[in-house]
Amino acid sequence: MSDWIKCSERMPAVSGYYHVIWNGKHISMAPFLFGSFQCIDPEKITHWMPLPEPPKE
């Protein structure tokens, strides 16, 4: 699995859903559209990572 990526270093290049960390301790999933995470407080998201691939079987 990938490492967490700091939002201050880079944001996702593709729209979609991502694992995110907000308030420095909560892990959740959030959509990324139009250049930002779409949630109530997107500025509180500090890190993100792509979702894993689904199982093949």
Distinct helix (H) and strand (E) counts, the chain: 0, 5
CA 11, chain centre distance (Å)? 8
Nearest 10 degrees: Cα torsion 31, 34, 53, 3: -90
Q: Tell me which amino acid residue 6 is.
A: K
Please state the pTM of the whole predicted model: 0.85
Mind listing the pLDDT tens digit of every residue in the chain (57 residues)? 559 999 999 999 999 999 999 998 999 999 999 999 998 888 999 999 999 999 998
